Amino acid sequence: MKNRAKTVGFKPGERNIFFHILTACNLSCRHCYINKKQHGTGQLTKEQLEQWMVLFADPNKKSNMIFLGGEPTLHPDLPFAIKKAKELGYFVTVDSNGYLFNDLLAKTTPNFLDYLSFSLDGPDAETNDPIRGDGVFDTCVANIQRAVSAGFNVSVIYTVSKKNLNALDRMVPLLLKLKVAKFFIQVIGLRGKSAKGDSEEVTQVTRQQWLDTVPEVASQAAEKGIHVTYPKVFLLPDEKFECAGAVAENFFIFPNGRVYQCPLCEDHPINAYTIQNNQLVKNEGLREDSFFRLNIAEGCVMNKLLQPDTIEYDEKGLPLYRISCCLLKQEIG
């Protein structure tokens, strides 16, 4: 019997800190969500890295620290930040495009880094590289192999779009070959480049395409011993809607000091918080958190406001389904 996915509810006391330590990147992926006009072009200093991690540390709660960019390995002080995060009690993950700059594997150890996560958007160069750039697949795969050989726990992130949906099932044998422990399947976000409609192909799949493909591939991977996580996206009629912004603690930090609670909002200057003088300051006025507790038939308020084309309605104007919070996950395996 196939494994069945379970919805992982928001856990009281669990916190996720998505720490963008710079916005620079060596790639120019067609679905990149970084918006330098909103997120800045700077790079945090070594002192800021430590001070901001201390700011969000809480010894009484399980806190996940995810280092992001841009490409975080471009920051020469990332190994320092990893070690300091572990000392502060964080569960530490680095999300990389696979290039592993500044000799990361030699400058940190699996004792400090809980997971090293690589982004791949195809099981081969023919699928991946038109999205992420020429030569990216071979470089990323080679560095995954190096990381696994060095004893790191490795995960892979696959961002599903119309461009690569049909190749998703072919990721399973590749992940097995590479000895990848976890597989994250992501829905493409309509923000950054994707929000501008620069490409007809690198766009969100339909509800039916998602439901016909993603759960089945997740089940196939789980049967082979790979732990799979993917967003819930669509709620069943009897499932309760909850917004992470209202019931959980998630912080999306950018190098210009903006701190969001909802990733859908990152293209807009409505961040709930700002870091000023190494203090977390609550912003006044109409901000993202003003909407989190609104109850609408479509489910996620921010999805309705910012990407309403993802919702379908019947002849009476009622939504055919509800959109879950984008941070609500399903796990299998």
17: its two tokens: 């800190």
pLDDT at 8 over 90: no
| 22 closest CA partner among 62, 81, 63 | 81
Confirm whether 284 is domain-assigned: no
Cα–Cα distance between 2 and 142 in angstroms, integer? 32
User: What percentage of residues in the chain have a pLDDT greater than 90?
Assistant: 84
Cα–Cα distance between 210 and 200 in angstroms, integer? 17
284-326 per-position pLDDT tens digit: 999 999 999 999 999 999 999 988 888 999 999 999 999 999 9
pLDDT at 199 over 60: no
DSSP 109: -
In this prediction, residue 283 carries a pLDDT of: 98
Segment 30-37 shows an average pLDDT of 88
In this prediction, residue 33 carries a pLDDT of: 86
* Domain housing 188: 6-239+327-332
224-234 per-position pLDDT tens digit: 999 999 999 99
What letters, b where the CB count within 10 A reaches 16 and e where it falls short, cover 60-95? eeebbbbbbbbbbbbbebbbebbbbbbebebebbbb
What letters, b where the CB count within 10 A reaches 16 and e where it falls short, cover 306-333? bbeebbeeeeeeeeebbbbbbbbbbbbb
72-89 per-position pLDDT tens digit: 999 999 999 999 999 999
237-262 per-position pLDDT tens digit: 889 999 999 999 999 999 999 999 99
Confirm whether 162 is domain-assigned: yes
Parallel, antiparallel or unpaired: strands 115-119 and 154-160: parallel
Burial of 273 (0-12, 13-18, 19+ CB in 10 A): buried
How many CA atoms lie within 13 Å of 68's alpha carbon, on the beta-carbon side?
A: 19
Confirm whether 275 is domain-assigned: no
Confirm whether 183 is domain-assigned: yes
Q: How confident is the model at residue 1 (pLDDT cuts 50, 70, 90)?
A: very low
Confirm whether 211 is domain-assigned: yes
Confirm whether 306 is domain-assigned: no
State how many domains the chain has.
1
Segment 180-197 shows an average pLDDT of 74
Q: How many C-beta atoms surround the C-beta of residue 133 within 10 A?
A: 16
Q: What is the CATH number of the domain that holds 143?
A: 3.20.20.70
119-142 per-position pLDDT tens digit: 999 999 999 999 999 999 999 999
Amino acid in position 58: D
Confirm whether 176 is domain-assigned: yes
Confirm whether 65 is domain-assigned: yes
Q: How confident is the model at residue 190 (pLDDT cuts 50, 70, 90)?
A: low
Amino acid in position 211: L
Q: To 5 degrees, how large is the angle CA 223–CA 224–CA 229?
A: 70
pLDDT at 195 over 60: no
